[in-house]
Amino acid sequence: MSEKKKSELTFWDHLTELLNRVRTILYSVVIATIAVMLVPIGLDFSVTNPFYTTITSFVILNMQERFLPPDAQLLPLSFTAPLEVYIFVSVILGVTISLPVISYELYKFINPALRKGERTTALQFVFSFVGLFVFGFTIGYLFVMPATMRMLFSFSNLLELPPLYDFAAFFSIVGFSLFLCGLIFTFPLYIVLLVKAGILETSSITKNRKYLYGGLLVVIALLDPEPGLLTEGFVFLPLVILTEVSILISKRVEKSRELSEENLG
């Protein structure tokens, strides 16, 4: 579609395009979710034991081993709890695996707002989005969640309660927290993208930097199930560094745009 035709799209045309992008994302998430639910890690099943270790069950067992104290036990408080957890973890994994498709479709939807010469950066956006998400997920897995779960479990010891916990609640906290850690770290990428689109200026970001970081700190505290200084620091400090890097990149984008406009003028 030509540039002129894209600029003349109506609201319903944009809505139709958005729905098409969302449909592609849903297809990708559904296929990835089914794959992690069914694909075996190894061929360790037999006639007497037809069940095998799937990608989802492997992740569930790994989370229990990683974040659950040795003396703690998880109890399914309903008949459907194990199935609900299995589907929930599968969807989280499906969305994570589909991130390249999600980021590409997101980029393509806002693509008409970008200059023609900047559209070749689609792959850079996809790789950056996935890389930042993986980095944030890793920070959450190695530092944030272990510290958070230790703090939460310590209250049971403080009150001398038996180490028995809800199976579904445990994976809800761990799954959402890890996913949100990854998602939060993609924030600096949106700054660059909005500057490229001409929607945001770096001068307004630097002018309101203290409000930006204050807002980020509030968001992290709200999303953290155990808002302590240690866990917030693990997320906030790397995020500040990444945001500052994104501001520097955005300034270079603005400078190159000004030079190109001067040459055209």
Tens-digit pLDDT profile for residues 90-134: 999 999 999 999 988 888 776 655 555 555 667 788 889 999 999
Q: What is the pTM of this model?
A: 0.80
- Predicted confidence at residue 1, as pLDDT, reads 47
Q: Crossing angle for the helix pair 145-158 and 167-184, nearest 10 degrees?
A: 150
- Report the pLDDT averaged over residues 79-94: 95
**Number of other CB atoms surrounding residue 167 within 10 Å:** 19
pLDDT tens digits, 208-257: 888 888 988 888 777 765 556 666 777 888 889 999 999 998 998 888 88
What percent of the chain stands above pLDDT 90? Answer: 34
Evaluated on CA atoms 88, 185, 14, 108, the torsion sign reads: negative
Confidence of residue 35 (pLDDT cuts 50, 70, 90): very high
pLDDT for position 163: 86
Amino acid at 171: F
pLDDT of the residue at 4? 46
Region of 160 please: left (phi>0), alpha (psi -120 to 50) or beta. left
Q: What's the pLDDT score for residue 12?
A: 75
221 CB contacts (<8 Å, ≥6 apart)? 227, 232
Q: Give Cα separations from 154 to 72, 74, 178 (angstroms).
A: 11, 16, 20
Selected residue with higher pLDDT from 167 and 18: 167
Which pLDDT score, from 0 to 100, does residue 50 have?
A: 60
**Mean of the pLDDT values across residues 12-26?**
86
Tokens of 79: 């008949």
What mean pLDDT is predicted for residues 135-151?
Answer: 88
Mean of per-residue pLDDT scores for the chain: 83
pLDDT tier for residue 2 given thresholds of 50, 70 and 90: very low
Cα separation, 25 vs 36, whole angstroms: 17
Query: Which of the pair, 37 or 4, is modelled with greater confidence?
Result: 37
pLDDT of 141: 92
For residues 56 and 69, the answer to whether their CB atoms sit within 8 Å is: no
Q: Give the pair of three-digit tokens for residue 265.
A: 């003028």
Residue 186's Cβ-side half-sphere holds a number of Cα atoms within 13 Å equal to 21
**Mean local confidence (pLDDT), 52-60:** 91
How many beta carbons lie within 10 A of that of residue 200, not counting itself?
16
Residue-level pLDDT at 200: 86
